[in-house]
Chains A and B, each alone.
Chain A
């Protein structure tokens, strides 16, 4: 799967789609593939403040737990209500129906610190070789 060009990516394999002061966050296709079958997603409640690069929740596969970091700082606006019953959406559609949360950004300008799709693909190629 190719990584959408309208998203920004982190070194810890999250993505964020920024629209004005709002951001939608999920994990990348590479991350879901590495984790395998995802069976549980723990996301912070709406209103929780998030700090860029710090853990905001976790994703669990059958075998392992993986922390999910906030790509940018802000506050949780909405959590994907489908994930409680269908965590497999992260495997099936990581950039679409498998989004984890929407957030209100406190500093949308910080986006420049993240990678674009091309840079992320280069980064993944490096970490896997």
Chain B
């Protein structure tokens, strides 16, 4: 077995007594004390995540925007400098090489943040598509650590550590550069939890000092370190897709119910456009839905869905939602069954449990 990759915070996790797991080739903390406690902390106070395993690919040069537009389902020309959008990195068939965050860094420069276990694949894919564009593609993942502080108290904990950047005026999905404990960092108001919060991109050598300083600064506010287990349940309550579960290179953007990141109105050709134009005109055969179980049980990734005796789809993600305290999940179902209110059954280890399609998301943070 190949040796697992480690983030610069690996020693911190071990010192905190985290339970470590192999996550796509990375040695990562799944939990420190309890997934339920860590989940609750993020919803009600704040949690600190090591997301240094995520990939950072930079595209810069005269035709950087043109290349991003060709790769991406969303319309990056709409991004102001310092603005971020969620998008699909598409295959020619309109499916996902990956999902990503596109940052407009100004001066014809874009930062794409991609999934850890896809970084090498994505980078190779982008390079393979980049030939006819006057743009330079650089994988700066090894030189970039990332820490996410998430939860209603994240801003109050982080701000005192940041110089030269006022955090409260930064809108959701915008970012800026500031000095954190003397180190220049990119600070983005983004996250994968459904809460307010920030993602801080910094040099790897600085990450342990930042991690410790944040834990210390947030102690009185109830900030605790949170692992990948809580990250997964938090994102699922917020109906954010997980690559490899809910979306992959066999699911199109429209099947994934992500029409809002597909901008067919943008000019020029892009990967997947013909397939997606046809799908939009003709309609999709299946769609990713949110559902709740109507009886006891826990739906899990891979469980089959039935309408009567007919197998009609499968669960892509499922859990007993820690904050909402309901068994829920996402599943691909035929379009005829994909409207809110539709009833079907989930096969949980041989037992059929009734389920109902519900509107997305399950959880939306209170505005305040």
Contact = CB atoms under 8 A, between A and B. Distances in A.
Interface of A: 36-37, 39-40, 42, 58, 60-63, 65, 84
A36 B298 contact: no
Interface string B316-329: 00011010000000
Contacts, number: 36
Nearest to A91: B34
Contact of B298 (A37, A60, A84): A60
Contacts of B349: 58, 65
B297 A62 contact: no
B297 A37 contact: no
B300 A36 contact: no
22 contacts: A36-B19, A36-B31, A36-B34, A36-B35, A36-B229, A37-B36, A39-B36, A39-B320, A40-B298, A58-B349, A60-B298, A61-B35, A62-B233, A62-B319, A62-B320, A63-B30, A63-B35, A63-B229, A63-B232, A65-B298, A65-B300, A84-B296
A36 B232 CA distance: 15
A37 B232 CA distance: 15
A63 B23 CA distance: 13
Contacts of B297: 40, 42
Interface in B23-45: 30-31, 34-36
A84 B30 CA distance: 26
Contact of A37 (B35, B296, B300): B35
A62 B300 contact: no
Interface of A is mostly: strand
Interface residues of B, number: 17
Given A36-B19, A36-B229, A65-B298, A60 B34 contact: no
Nearest to B21: A63
B20 to A, nearest CB: 13
Interface in B1-57: 19, 30-31, 34-36
B229 A39 contact: no
Contacts of B19: 36
A65 B322 CA distance: 16
Contacts of B320: 39-40, 60, 62
**Most interface-central of A37, A62, A84 (chain B CB within 10 A):** A62
Nearest to A67: B349
Given A36-B31, A36-B34, A63-B35, 12 more contacts: A36-B19, A36-B229, A37-B35, A39-B36, A39-B322, A60-B298, A60-B320, A61-B35, A62-B35, A62-B319, A62-B320, A65-B298
Contacts of B34: 36-37
A37 B296 CA distance: 18
Interface in B221-252: 229, 232-233
A40 B300 CA distance: 13
Contacts of A63: 30, 35, 229, 232
Contacts of A61: 35
Contacts of B30: 63
B315 to A, nearest CB: 13
Contacts of A36: 19, 31, 34-35, 229
A58 B320 CA distance: 15
Contacts of A58: 349
A84 B35 CA distance: 20
A80 to B, nearest CB: 15
A88 to B, nearest CB: 8
A42 B349 CA distance: 12
A58 B348 CA distance: 12
B107 to A, nearest CB: 43
Nearest to A60: B298
A84 B297 CA distance: 11
A26 to B, nearest CB: 20
A16 B233 CA distance: 33
Contacts of A39: 36, 298, 320, 322
A73 B297 CA distance: 26
Interface string B60-97: 00000000000000000000000000000000000000
A54 B358 CA distance: 37
Interface in B252-305: 296-298, 300
Contacts of B232: 63
A36 B229 CA distance: 10
Contacts of A84: 296
A40 to B, nearest CB: 5
Q: Which 6 A-B pairs have the closest CB atoms?
A: A62-B35, A37-B36, A39-B320, A60-B298, A37-B34, A40-B298
